[in-house]
Chain A
Amino acid sequence: MFWLVRGSDLFLFLHLLGLFCFAYIVARRLAPLLRAQRDFRFDRPLARLGRLLQFWLAQWRHPRYRFAGALHILIFAGFLLLASRAFAVLAMGISDRFAGHPGGLYDAVRDYASTVVFLCMGIAIVRRLAFAPARYGRRSADAIFLLALIGILMAADGIFEGSHAAFHARQGTTAELFPPLSLPWAFELAFSSAPLAALVNLHLGAYLTHEVTFFFLLCYRPFGIQFHVETSLFSIYFAKLDRGTVKPVRWGVADEQLDAVPSFGVKKIEDFTWKHLLDFYSCADCGRCADQCPANAVGRPLSPRALTIKTRDYLFRHYPVFSPSSDGVPLAGGLYSEDEIWSCTTCGACEAECPLLVEYIDKIVDLRRGLVDDGKAPKPLHKPLKSLESRGNPFGKMEKKRADWAQGAVKILNGGGGADTLYFVDSITSYDDRIQSIGRATARILDSLGEEFGILGAKERDSGHDVRRFGEEMLFQALRGHNTEAIRSSGARRIVTADPHAYNALKHDYRDMPPVEHVSEVVARAVRTSKIRLNAVENGVYSYHDPCYLGRHNGIYDDPRDVLDSIPGLRRVEMKRCRDRSFCCGGGGLALFYEAKEEQRMGVRRVRMAADAGSSVIVTACPFCMVNIEDAIKVAGLEGQMTAIDLAELVDRQMVKAS
């Protein structure tokens, strides 16, 4: 078409201008990443590619919210299908050679794809305006603007094609046949009686509109949440592979060299790693993380999404594309309140939910490291931290009394070949009057399974799991060093624990440890191999509460359920929020001491969920869950209607004891 060729120089210029702008903007956006901390994310490419296929291509997380998920999958599929079309349209402006042949399967698919995307934009806009779920917050104007632009892009393409076909139809020359009910088909129909001159103008206008919209979107996306269109590929590829761990203080700095590091943790924006900054760019503001976050649900000042969005805005201000950099406020105590940073229980619900695999726990831990480095640990934690340092437990109890719970009935391992299995008890089970019964139950279970086992006794220290997650890295390392030595000299070849926090620490935070199992895994195996028989229960409706560090962080969901299901007569119901959507009880370790500002306790919310499910017994598999839930039952006024029992205690109670 001759008028296309005449404009080709203009369009070429526009294309190059658009690309240049985009490149410049992306370069500016990359600038802070180049000044950020290192992050080792280039290893295990196959595993990373696998995740890319799972989470990016297959949109694995999206269906967790059905309607929005379906919409997004359609839109995403549409984008992928239309990708080459978009480039083809741009190329058409430069040279006739790209006009392409009409018809064919790709074109039909393409036409339907753009129609579907167009319709989805409409649905999405209406949804945002009239049926917006709470998690969307109040940022609608920008989102609607962008949705509308995409709709315009689809429509412009449709008009471009439709006007072209109508023109040819009027002239009698062959034109492509559009699949029925597709956008270009609809436009062709609409233009069937339009004057030729108008069609030419529509065609040209649509093309310009398409081009301008395309490049506008391209260059506008890096200024807001739509940047995820580009960055999602990278945020998912580079996402963290090792669950349950916490990042080192500095990647590439060994523990022995940490004393030389001038500053710990995140105090200014460049203290984040480049992947974390990329995360801030990649957030699509969908609000799913905040929707699942227990801290947010109970009114603590923490919302993961809000943290990300405001940090992204901070990055935009601190490293702007156009204007000179404006001085930012400090991070902790400025952009974030200290309470906000201490409110997180590290439950991982946010990370389990995010479709872009944005990470939160490492960022919170790094921010806490920064605060602790500056002497700003919250006052209620000073005492337990001091006790952990001087006594190896947060309660201030004497080291020599650590094994008193066992009442002399459990062997203390001294490395003299006492036993192959070490039962790592950890602090709360050792010292808390109520929780000691979990320890005794576990010991009896191991005994009755014929396991030769022992405990470290007074040589055991707190695992330090939550000391680390509350930012006191060096105290954690001291505890870990002590325990590692004690475990090595015990001669144990296998570790069992009933404490998911200890389990997670030994499995992921400690190095070169013998294999670790949680007692629920041990019992489940015994059930499967018929090594244990359990008596029936008479009444009660049981719900299993997934502890965060057993379930979400370590993927152990079925073993505890299998154990419960093997008890004859036990009626089990699932709470609505279960498995990887389990609702945190309130946190363990140091979280027990932190006084959060909240409207309600997490535990209270959780027991109400159990009550709603119709249960009368909550079974849990974590001593901290037990503390929080038993407390919550009282606070919620459900005493007499609901009880809590630990899985080990239940098994111990129902176990058919060997004579």
Chain B
Amino acid sequence: MARIFAYIVHKSGVADDTAAELPVAARKIDPAQHCTAIVTGWGGDLDQVCESLRSSYSEIWRIAQEPLAYPNAELVRKALLNVLPAGSIVLVPHAHFGVDLSPGLSIKMDAAYLPDVVDIESVEGDWLRAVRQEFGGQVSVHMRCNISSGAVLNIRPGAFRPSESSAAAGQVLDKSADVGALTARRRYLETVAAEMGDVDIAKEPVLISIGRGIGEQENIAIAEDLAEAMGAAVSCSRPVVDAKWMDKSRQVGSSGQTVRPKVYLACGISGSFQHLAGIKGNPFIVAINKNPKAPIFRVAEVGIVDDILEFLPALAACVREESCVPGKERQRS
């Protein structure tokens, strides 16, 4: 069995949540192995991250080079190629960095590539069996992947729940010198932060989140009305921002904000993983959707199959009246 590495994504000295998830996936590939963390970066931030990884990894390979201060996938790829043993299996979180790094990495390693893996099933000889999803999460697919010459596996964030760490007092090995001079024909210039809108949804405890199911821009008023009644804020999924109905600062998802509310109402949201990736902290998720087969119902705690354009006003009316007696006469539309 090849050696398994977990690529650690980090920011401002803090390792991403996926750092605790990758070893779980690795364990499913090879229970007999502790996967090795591999981290690139520079300076105090890198040191801080390596330190924090010691409680969950037994071995940490540290690559410190000034050009790697900002994670430029082109440079990271080169660094990894110089350091990774041939035939390795590399686990990378499937997110902005992972889709930038991994396809090219697999080619250069002459290894198989499996993106956005949601489950590892088994290894049979040269073949790894795993599960992916297609068509926006509407169907799942059994995959098999030939790992005889190594593999790069992009793991979906949140697909593998981290268990209590078993490794302790991990060793940090410095591999910086093995990397050589790093140049690339792509150079990082700067990061332009997203404009903060009037509401910072990342700080809100209760979110009414709307998706494509809201239908028209005018219907957003229905959600805003409910939010006002509940003392909550309105957030949304990507299609609402693409249609320019709401500001990007309201978008929950891997390319939007990460939120940690107590209560999350997903209204007319199908439940793509990119959206769900933005919801952390295990909130109470209520899904309201006309389509009983929407993937959101798999992650929500409570589900309501109904038309949000009818249900939300009914809920708002109930919230305002504060006491709703079942069977009480209400104006039917």
Alpha-carbon distance between A339 and B53 when the two chains are bound, in angstroms:
56
**How big is the B interface, by class?**
under 10
* CB of A640 closer than 8 Å to a CB of B: yes
Assess whether B217 is in contact with A639, with CB atoms less than 8 Å apart: no
* CB of B191 closer than 8 Å to a CB of A: no
CB distance from A371 to the nearest CB of B (A): 19
Q: Give chain B residues whose Cβ lies under 8 Å from the Cβ of A639.
A: 331, 333
Alpha-carbon distance between A220 and B38 when the two chains are bound, in angstroms:
86
Assess whether A640 is in contact with B331, with CB atoms less than 8 Å apart: yes
* CB of B216 closer than 8 Å to a CB of A: yes
* CB of A634 closer than 8 Å to a CB of B: yes
Q: Mark A616-643, 1 if CB is under 8 A from B, else 0.
A: 0000000000000000001000011000
Alpha-carbon distance between A96 and B333 when the two chains are bound, in angstroms:
83
Q: Mark A373-399, 1 if CB is under 8 A from B, else 0.
A: 000000100000000000000000000
Assess whether A595 is in contact with B331, with CB atoms less than 8 Å apart: no
Among residues of B, the one whose C-beta sits closest to the C-beta of A630 is B333
Assess whether A634 is in contact with B217, with CB atoms less than 8 Å apart: no
Alpha-carbon distance between A381 and B255 when the two chains are bound, in angstroms:
26
Q: Give chain A residues whose Cβ lies under 8 Å from the Cβ of B331.
A: 639-640
**How big is the A interface, by class?**
under 10
Alpha-carbon distance between A640 and B317 when the two chains are bound, in angstroms:
15
Alpha-carbon distance between A640 and B243 when the two chains are bound, in angstroms:
34
Alpha-carbon distance between A639 and B332 when the two chains are bound, in angstroms:
8
Among residues of A, the one whose C-beta sits closest to the C-beta of B245 is A595
Q: Give chain A residues whose Cβ lies under 8 Å from the Cβ of B216.
A: 595
Scan residues 305-333 of chain B and give those whose CB is less than 8 A from a CB of chain A.
Answer: 331, 333
Q: Give chain B residues whose Cβ lies under 8 Å from the Cβ of A595.
A: 216-217
CB distance from A635 to the nearest CB of B (A): 8
Scan residues 593-625 of chain A and give those whose CB is less than 8 A from a CB of chain B.
Answer: 595
Alpha-carbon distance between A379 and B217 when the two chains are bound, in angstroms:
13
Scan residues 182-220 of chain B and give those whose CB is less than 8 A from a CB of chain A.
Answer: 216-217
Scan residues 577-595 of chain A and give those whose CB is less than 8 A from a CB of chain B.
Answer: 595
Alpha-carbon distance between A296 and B216 when the two chains are bound, in angstroms:
22
Alpha-carbon distance between A595 and B216 when the two chains are bound, in angstroms:
8
Scan residues 214-244 of chain B and give those whose CB is less than 8 A from a CB of chain A.
Answer: 216-217, 243
Alpha-carbon distance between A379 and B243 when the two chains are bound, in angstroms:
9
CB distance from A601 to the nearest CB of B (A): 8
Q: Give chain B residues whose Cβ lies under 8 Å from the Cβ of A634.
A: 333
Q: Give chain A residues whose Cβ lies under 8 Å from the Cβ of B217.
A: 595
CB distance from A189 to the nearest CB of B (A): 68
CB distance from B261 to the nearest CB of A (A): 30
Among residues of B, the one whose C-beta sits closest to the C-beta of A633 is B333
Q: Give chain A residues whose Cβ lies under 8 Å from the Cβ of B333.
A: 634, 639
Among residues of B, the one whose C-beta sits closest to the C-beta of A634 is B333
Alpha-carbon distance between A282 and B128 when the two chains are bound, in angstroms:
79
Alpha-carbon distance between A511 and B242 when the two chains are bound, in angstroms:
42
CB distance from A276 to the nearest CB of B (A): 34
Among residues of A, the one whose C-beta sits closest to the C-beta of B221 is A635
CB distance from A207 to the nearest CB of B (A): 66
Q: Give chain B residues whose Cβ lies under 8 Å from the Cβ of A640.
A: 331
CB distance from A654 to the nearest CB of B (A): 22
CB distance from A436 to the nearest CB of B (A): 16
Alpha-carbon distance between A129 and B67 when the two chains are bound, in angstroms:
76
CB distance from A428 to the nearest CB of B (A): 15
CB distance from A298 to the nearest CB of B (A): 13
Q: Mark A635-659, 1 if CB is under 8 A from B, else 0.
A: 0000110000000000000000000
Alpha-carbon distance between A595 and B245 when the two chains are bound, in angstroms:
11
CB distance from B219 to the nearest CB of A (A): 10
Alpha-carbon distance between A639 and B331 when the two chains are bound, in angstroms:
7
Alpha-carbon distance between A634 and B331 when the two chains are bound, in angstroms:
11
Scan residues 56-110 of chain B and give those whose CB is less than 8 A from a CB of chain A.
Answer: none
Q: Give chain B residues whose Cβ lies under 8 Å from the Cβ of A379.
A: 243
Among residues of A, the one whose C-beta sits closest to the C-beta of B307 is A433
List 7 A-B residue pairs with CB atoms under 8 Å apart, sorted by A's residue number. A379-B243, A595-B216, A595-B217, A634-B333, A639-B331, A639-B333, A640-B331
Nearest first, the 4 closest Cβ-Cβ pairs linking A and B are A640-B331, A639-B331, A639-B333, A634-B333
